[in-house]
Chain A
Amino acid sequence: MSFLRLCVSASRRVVSRTQAVGSVFSGSARSASGALKDQEPLKKAKTPQGRFDAPEKSGDVLEKFPDDVNPKTKEKGGPRGPEPTRYGDWERKGRCVDF
């Protein structure tokens, strides 16, 4: 019986700690993207805050061609970025691919 009570108190403490930690996290996220969030209301309140409201930053070094058509060679649906075969092998992001 006493063991059970110990378990209860331990789990209650754990639950309360996680609740406190949760609020700290959400609080910091709110303040981190605070500049944007304070000006507009959240569009999607249920999603992780701020991530989908701001325009997506393209992290890729090789950019997509407009309409996927390479302006120099008029190739549609080809590889992005500079021509992969320009050095005599197939180059992409510094890596050579063998095929």
Chain B
Amino acid sequence: MASVRAASRLLSKRVLANTKAVPAAAVQGSRNFHFSIYGKKKSAKVADDISTQYPVVDHEFDAVVVGAGGAGLRAAFGLSEAGFNTACVTKLFPTRSHTVAAQGGINAALGNMEQDDWRWHFYDTVKGSDWLGDQDAIHYMTEQAPAAVVELENFGMPFSRTEEGKIYQRAFGGQSLKYGKGGQAHRCCCVADRTGHSLLHTLYGRSLRYDTSYFVEYFALDLLMENGECKGVIALCMEDGSIHRFRAQNTVIATGGYGRTYFSCTSAHTSTGDGTAMVTRAGLPCQDLEFVQFHPTGIYGAGCLITEGCRGEGGILINSEGERFMERYAPNAKDLASRDVVSRSMTIEIREGRGVGPDKDHVYLQLHHLPPQQLATRLPGISETAMIFAGVDVTKEPIPVLPTVHYNMGGIPTNYKGQVIDHTNGKDKVIPGLYACGEAACASVHGANRLGANSLLDLVVFGRACALTIAEEHKPGEKLSPLKPSAGEESVANLDKLRFANGNLRTSEIRLNMQKTMQNHAAVFRTGSVLKEGCDKMADVYQSMEKIKTFDRGIVWNTDLVESLELQNLMLNAVQTINGAEQRKESRGAHAREDFKDRIDEYDYSKPLEGQQKKPFEQHWRKHTMSYVDPKTGKVTLRYRPVIDSSLNEQDCAHVPPAIRSY
């Protein structure tokens, strides 16, 4: 007893002694940094050029990769393998990136289950993109696909196998043989049911063989641009509040998508479109942001998707009046109608006031009229899922669902090599020093609609492409071009402004306003009047950012500040999405409008082409949207860029001329 008391007294004394030894808070700028400058990090220097309040550390590397998901890791160790001194700046630990949630597989024309050819995969992807994809990038991706999957397997990724020991491939939507005429193709390679998780862990493990410097939990604020060239990144270290400038000849952006602009999305809370926003603030365009993929039945509040098999097994969608509303919209197919019809019907019901819940903003998926044993055998695990994510007993209550965002096809425009481009004077111009890959980029392999199992392939192929392009054009140890000493001061000023913001609206309120506006106006159901109303409302929400209020004034692990920075990034993405959708007056792929139900191409492909006059560029819609935003006012400018219709090698793989897309 007495010994316990004595021990506790000793311990408390030691703790007190430690607290006294810790230096004063970083606000005064006199605190020791959490990392010491030794070994490789010798080049880090503390600079006073921007501000004396915020200690800035300068680093010099050959290449910087922002984001450490599937694409970012592949690019980072591809560069390290080629001998470049690479830094990987990420706001999450690499294995926590959203790639880990992709449970499905990767498509590749390996030909293990039947005779296969990558040119058939090329055709399927071009058709899936509704002819908005750049055919040279698609050619590159599908040709490299078998090599990419074999490379992953050599890295140690445990794909599932056939009896002979080859990689097992299963059938998945949209893949066909012989240019669509040979039936279903089996191309999807998977690792049990956790392909994304396994991919990310394999890539992370492989990357540790090389000497990439990881800067984990560093939030990238802005690109350092000078004279139209990208010279690095400026980032905030969340752990101790110091600002770091990473100067590098080559910057690769692989920050992922921006699902969190919508109220209901499957993305992690960290999918905030930081890369696309950084590029927008640098005055560069973003491409095709209005193409957002929706899934009809996502659980309200949680964002998990309920499989279409529920409706296939007899589940029905009901509104607040208990009516099976799908009978009105699709009298023959009813609940088994195609995804976009179901999503649009649900949205129309909600808009007309027949939604359920306190906000009347979702509908119910009813399964309790089916016998419980049938549910348990056909859909094992669904009662567990419904209880965990929706809190309902699926044998007694319906599940609340609404259309949910799960992928962004748009992003930073790049060519097939991964270099970021801008479209001026009718030609594509490469921005020196800047590259992008993954969901953040739009090399436009997905076009207007992404096929399943192609996105994991996109990550690894274009991550590797960025690394290869940089290795071709630059050498390790190249001298860095000079940079103004005060580069990045606007980012630090913005950070300071947000840290001491004292308006009257909290970050969470502004974010909820934005998410609700986007969900109500820029979701599945798009018509001119709804979109126009949405654009005006979004402009108001953008202006309301001036009245933001943050509470945490510290600098060490200030999540209030980081969430407000993420909200700024989300806003930029949201205004571009809704304005792009409002301007595009046609229906193509994932962008479906009620008032313009057809695709408007340069020719009418449903009729024979002879005798048709080609429409001029301004009058048809088979073109990419390039959107620019003025960050101060939130005003969006839209320009257009033609689709690249020729493949990389016409003899090897002929391009696919546009046609009507029907499955």
**Interface residues, chain A, CB within 8 Å of chain B?**
8, 11-12, 15, 61-62, 73-99
Chain B positions within 8 Å of A93 at CB level: 380-382, 384-385
Q: Are B382 and A98 in contact (CB under 8 A)?
A: no
5 tightest A-B CB contacts, nearest first: A93-B381, A94-B382, A87-B309, A99-B104, A79-B193
**Interface residues, chain B, CB within 8 Å of chain A?**
1, 4-5, 101-105, 158-163, 168, 170-173, 188, 190-193, 195-196, 266, 293, 295, 297, 304-310, 312, 378-386, 389, 406-407, 452-453, 455-456
A98 to B408, CA, bound (A): 12
Chain A positions within 8 Å of B192 at CB level: 77-80
Q: Are B102 and A97 in contact (CB under 8 A)?
A: yes
A12 to B2, CA, bound (A): 9
Q: Are A61 and B380 in contact (CB under 8 A)?
A: yes
A81 to B173, CA, bound (A): 20
Chain B positions within 8 Å of A61 at CB level: 380-381, 384
Chain A positions within 8 Å of B173 at CB level: 88-89
Q: Are A76 and B162 in contact (CB under 8 A)?
A: yes
- Other-chain residue from B159, B378, B406 in contact with A98 (beta carbon distance below 8 A): B406
Q: With both chains docked as a complex, state the minimum distance between the C-beta of A90 and any C-beta of chain B, in angstroms.
A: 4
A96 to B158, CA, bound (A): 22
A82 to B309, CA, bound (A): 12
Chain B positions within 8 Å of A77 at CB level: 158-161, 168, 191-192
In the complex with contacts A94-B386, A99-B453, A78-B304 CB distance below 8 A: no
Assuming A79-B192, A96-B306, what are 5 further A-B pairs, CB within 8 angstroms?
A: A77-B159, A90-B103, A93-B381, A97-B305, A99-B196
Chain B positions within 8 Å of A95 at CB level: 304-307, 385, 389
- Other-chain residue from B4, B161, B162, B452 in contact with A89 (beta carbon distance below 8 A): B452
Interface of B, helix, strand, loop or mixed by DSSP: mixed
Chain B positions within 8 Å of A94 at CB level: 306-307, 310, 379, 381-386
Q: Are A97 and B103 in contact (CB under 8 A)?
A: yes
Chain B positions within 8 Å of A91 at CB level: 307, 309, 379
Chain A positions within 8 Å of B102 at CB level: 97-99
Chain A positions within 8 Å of B380 at CB level: 61-62, 81-82, 93
Chain B's closest residue to A83 (CB) is B170
Chain B positions within 8 Å of A11 at CB level: 1, 4-5
- Other-chain residue from B105, B161, B383 in contact with A99 (beta carbon distance below 8 A): B105
A82 to B378, CA, bound (A): 8
Chain A positions within 8 Å of B389 at CB level: 95
Q: Are A99 and B160 in contact (CB under 8 A)?
A: no
Q: Are B386 and A84 in contact (CB under 8 A)?
A: no
26 A–B pairs (Cβ distance < 8 Å), ordered by A? A11-B1, A61-B384, A62-B380, A73-B168, A74-B162, A76-B161, A77-B158, A77-B192, A78-B168, A82-B378, A83-B170, A87-B308, A87-B309, A89-B309, A90-B172, A90-B193, A91-B309, A91-B379, A93-B381, A94-B306, A94-B383, A94-B384, A94-B385, A95-B304, A95-B306, A98-B406
Q: With both chains docked as a complex, state the minimum distance between the C-beta of B461 and any C-beta of chain A, in angstroms.
A: 15
A76 to B166, CA, bound (A): 10
Q: With both chains docked as a complex, state the minimum distance between the C-beta of B291 and any C-beta of chain A, in angstroms.
A: 15
A12 to B1, CA, bound (A): 7
A97 to B381, CA, bound (A): 14
Q: Are A85 and B171 in contact (CB under 8 A)?
A: yes
Chain B positions within 8 Å of A99 at CB level: 102-105, 195-196, 452-453, 455-456
Chain A positions within 8 Å of B306 at CB level: 94-96
Q: With both chains docked as a complex, state the minimum distance between the C-beta of A27 and any C-beta of chain B, in angstroms.
A: 23
Chain B positions within 8 Å of A12 at CB level: 1
Q: Are B381 and A81 in contact (CB under 8 A)?
A: yes
In the complex with contacts A11-B5, A95-B385, A97-B102, A89-B307 CB distance below 8 A: yes
Q: Are B312 and A87 in contact (CB under 8 A)?
A: yes
Chain B positions within 8 Å of A74 at CB level: 162-163
In the complex with contacts A94-B385, A97-B103, A85-B163 CB distance below 8 A: no
Q: Are B162 and A87 in contact (CB under 8 A)?
A: no
Q: Are B4 and A98 in contact (CB under 8 A)?
A: no
Chain B's closest residue to A16 (CB) is B1
A77 to B191, CA, bound (A): 7
Chain A's closest residue to B193 (CB) is A79
- Other-chain residue from B172, B195, B295, B407 in contact with A85 (beta carbon distance below 8 A): B172
